[in-house]
Amino acid sequence: MVAYFGINAMKFGVLNFPGSNCAEDCFHVLDKVVNQPTRYFWHQETNTTDLDAIVVPGGFSYGDYLRPGAIARFAPAMDALKEFVEKGKLVIGICNGFQILTEAGLLPGSLIKNKSVKFLCQDQTIRVENAKTPFTQKFHKHELLMTPIAHNEGNYYIDDEGLAELEAHHQIIFRYASQDGTVDDSTNPNGSVSNIAGICNKSFNVLGMMPHPERNAESLLGNAQGIKVFESMILSFTNSGN
């Protein structure tokens, strides 16, 4: 199964910190489901030259000590990741990866404890708010997808000014919704400001999201909607002339 391999293949790196526990799931989906060349990118590594995109996976990097992502942010790989982002390459942070990207200042806001003070592990409907990004172009606007969430600190916080800026630049990519597409307090699992489940930076080459698209990427598992996140990334890579 090497259908995509060849001149158009997009090389993915899966950033692996001590305590990352979704790295293998991401690796599997990239390697075996969307058939792209994939390698782990170790937290001590700094050479990204062979990579076209980096996934910052979920887990509990450095035991979530102090705050989720607080220690990971100082790993040597993070300086390399910042340069990678400055070059316009694609980076997606999932769950703990999202927390790390906010701690590193690559995405605005912060993720604090769920309003319920409970670890949430459930299927969650999210709504695509912006389908014109490199991560969502295979979706249509307001498409609904059922994507698992599994987090203790997924309560996205940003101040009013920051929220207005996110909205003005269409940086809100996913919102928590009900199965019929309603977005309000009753469909907000964790207390996130404005039901935010995922955001992009202003250049739209960095996405952070709390739900796990790598966990619903195969029909064998009952739901393959999440695969479109990775397929969108590959499409944007091939469309950019690679």
- Write out the residues near other proteins by the rule CB under 8 A: 66-67, 70-71, 74, 102-103, 108-110, 112-117, 155, 157-159, 191
Smallest gap, in angstroms, from Cβ of residue 117 to other proteins? 5
Exposed/middle/buried for 96, CB within 10 Å: 0-12, 13-18, 19+?
A: buried
> Smallest gap, in angstroms, from Cβ of residue 76 to other proteins?
16
For other proteins, give the closer residue by CB, 29 or 78: 78
Q: How far is the CB of 7 from other proteins (least distance, A)?
A: 42
Q: Is 157 helix (H, G, I), strand (E, B) or coil?
A: strand
Choosing from 103, 129, 153, 214, the catalytic residue is 214
DSSP state of 32: I
Amino acid of residue 64: D
Pairing of strands 53-56, 12-16: parallel
Q: How far is CA 190 from the centre of its chain?
A: 17
Q: Hey, how many other C-beta atoms are within 10 angstroms of the C-beta on 46?
A: 14
Smallest gap from Cβ 119 to other proteins, in A, equals: 12
66/121 with CB nearer other proteins:
66
Catalytic residue among 22, 26, 43, 95, which? 95
**Nearest-approach distance from CB 182 to other proteins, in angstroms:** 23
Burial of 123 (0-12, 13-18, 19+ CB in 10 A): middle
SS3 content of the chain, % helix, strand, coil (to 5): 30, 25, 45
Catalytic site residue 121? no
> 103 catalytic, yes or no?
no
Q: Measured from the CB atom, is 125 or 155 closer to other proteins?
A: 155
| Cβ nearer to other proteins, comparing 134 with 208 | 208
Query: What span, in angstroms and rounded, lies between the C-alpha atoms of 125 and 143?
Result: 10
- What b-and-e string marks burial along 2-31, b requiring 16 or more CB atoms within 10 Å of the CB? eeeeeeebbbbbbbbbebbebbebbbebbb
Q: Which is nearer to other proteins, 50 or 184 (CB)?
A: 184
Q: Is 212 annotated as catalytic?
A: yes
Active-site residue set: 95, 212, 214
